[in-house]
Amino acid sequence: MKKRQVVIVGAGASGMTAAIMAARNGAAVTVLEQNEKPGKKICATGNGKCNFSNLAMPEDAYRGRHPEFVKDAFERFSVKDTVEFFKELGIFPLDRNGYLYPRSNQAQSVVDVLCMEASHLGVKIKTNEQVTAIEPARNGNNFQILTKGWHYEADALILANGSKASSISGSDGSGYELAKSLGHHIIPVYPALTALKCKGNSYKGWAGVRTEGRISLLVDNELCSCQQGELQLTEYGISGIPVFQLSRYAICAVKTGKKAVLKINFLPECTVDEVKELLHQRKKDCPYKNEKELLTGLFPEKLINVLTSQKNLISAITEYTLEVTDGLSFSQAQVCSGGVDTSEIVNETMESRFCPNVYIVGELLDIDGTCGGYNLQWAWSSGAAAGIHAAKEYKR
């Protein structure tokens, strides 16, 4: 019996998982990767250590117009399934407060075991192959996939070539154009999980400071998101994990003509009245200190200089206000918001509702996760769902 021919565009996290699952389910699999080797983006995750999943699954871990879309894929290939999958391949998981890393602390290990398994299953990985078009096949198959130097025919096609985020070569968003050529609608794509640029000069002196704080985002004067943790203060605005978590909302707001304002509380463990009392007590204890000296021991020196330059010190400490003008570029973002409209994709299988036997997975879809391994988990789960179903002659 002739094996079902599955072609996958992209040898990243979702593409390699799809390839392995399709091959395990009896398909003949070819992966087309435009870089010189697979998994380049995986190697950059988690500062090269690869936070490949997370044991916690908060309700707001995923964003998009239809964040509930992820549910069916996670039921089919859960975090537990992911851990077992990688343990079987040789990755010993290291649990750091729920954040999962390979015991080797090397993202390359994850890429290596995926490639080893794919090779064992007979998956063909063609590198330096950039897909330029998808056309109906002429010889009985469903699709002809054209590259700059060749063409491939397939019964099923999986688009797994990622988003525009990252400085890794090949992160050019070409997958969006391929999806559009098949009739799909693209939700506007913006950088996400990135730092924010802000308006004005009042904060310019704080560049290089790291400090704890709580940051709230208001869009057109309505509270949108609030995050707490270590903030990194920069010459262009603000960065750090809490900023990354709310950046997708701030950038979307600015890009659509809305006003995005950040309010930073540099002493979130205290109420406003407690801050007033704290400063009063410090002055009482050391009456010889000036305003800047009273803050020594509470905040870094550069931040003290900025705070004391404001009209109202209490407001500066508890509600420092910045207006967002933009995020950093796609190359400096970890992921993107937006992508292929998930209402056009079958939840359980990742199959296109427009083009039978076309599957779209991972970052190409309008799903983005928060920091902490959630985006990789989405790649594993969506890739697995697509690979399993693409290997079968599936008829609705």
- pLDDT, one tens digit per residue, over 279-303 is 999 999 999 999 999 999 999 999 9
Residues 253 and 145 in one domain: no
Please report, rounded to a whole number, the percentage of residues in the chain having pLDDT higher than 70: 97
Across residues 152-159, what is the average pLDDT? 96
Q: Is residue 107 part of a domain?
A: yes
Per-residue pLDDT reduced to its tens digit, 124-148? 999 999 999 999 877 667 999 999 8
Residues 357 and 255 in one domain: no
Would you state the pLDDT for residue 90? 97
Residues 311 and 216 in one domain: yes
Residues 30 and 105 in one domain: yes
Task: Classify 362 in phi/psi space as left (phi over 0), alpha (psi -120 to 50) or beta.
Answer: left
| pLDDT surpasses 80 at 393 | no
Would you state the pLDDT for residue 167? 63
Task: Determine the residue type at 55.
Answer: L
pTM of the model: 0.94
Residues 62 and 92 in one domain: yes
Task: Classify 162 in phi/psi space as left (phi over 0), alpha (psi -120 to 50) or beta.
Answer: left
| pLDDT surpasses 90 at 247 | yes
Q: Is residue 298 part of a domain?
A: yes
Across residues 13-21, what is the average pLDDT? 98
Per-residue pLDDT reduced to its tens digit, 73-97? 999 999 999 999 999 999 999 999 9
Residues 50 and 32 in one domain: yes
The residues facing 218 across adjacent strands are: 223, 261
Would you state the pLDDT for residue 374? 97
Q: Is residue 396 part of a domain?
A: no
Choose one of 300, 327, 354: the last residue of a domain.
327
Across residues 100-113, what is the average pLDDT? 96
Residues 132 and 213 in one domain: no
Count of C-beta atoms within a 10 Å radius of residue 209: 18
Bigger pLDDT: 72 vs 395: 72
Q: Is residue 304 part of a domain?
A: yes
CATH assignment of the domain containing 103: 3.50.50.60
Would you state the pLDDT for residue 74? 96
Residues 261 and 168 in one domain: no
Across residues 203-230, what is the average pLDDT? 96
Residues 290 and 359 in one domain: no
| pLDDT surpasses 90 at 233 | yes
Question: Count of domains in the chain?
Answer: 2
Per-residue pLDDT reduced to its tens digit, 167-212? 665 567 889 999 999 999 999 999 999 999 999 888 989 999 999 9
Per-residue pLDDT reduced to its tens digit, 329-367? 999 999 999 999 999 999 999 999 999 999 999 999 999
Would you state the pLDDT for residue 170? 59
The residues facing 265 across adjacent strands are: 214
Choose one of 299, 327, 355: the last residue of a domain.
327
Residues 78 and 127 in one domain: yes
Residues 255 and 304 in one domain: yes
Band (pLDDT 50/70/90 cuts) for residue 395 is: very low
Q: Is residue 395 part of a domain?
A: no
| pLDDT surpasses 70 at 1 | no
Across residues 232-258, what is the average pLDDT? 97
Alpha helices by DSSP H, the chain: 13-24, 40-44, 70-76, 79-89, 107-120, 174-181, 241-255, 272-285, 291-295, 301-307, 313-318, 374-390
Residues 12 and 115 in one domain: yes
| pLDDT surpasses 50 at 396 | no
Choose one of 327, 354, 369: the last residue of a domain.
327
3-state secondary structure of 367: coil
Q: Which residue shows structure tokens 């343990």?
A: 87
Across residues 211-229, what is the average pLDDT? 97
Across residues 99-122, what is the average pLDDT? 97
Would you state the pLDDT for residue 46? 82
- For residue 28, what are the domain limits? 5-189+338-390
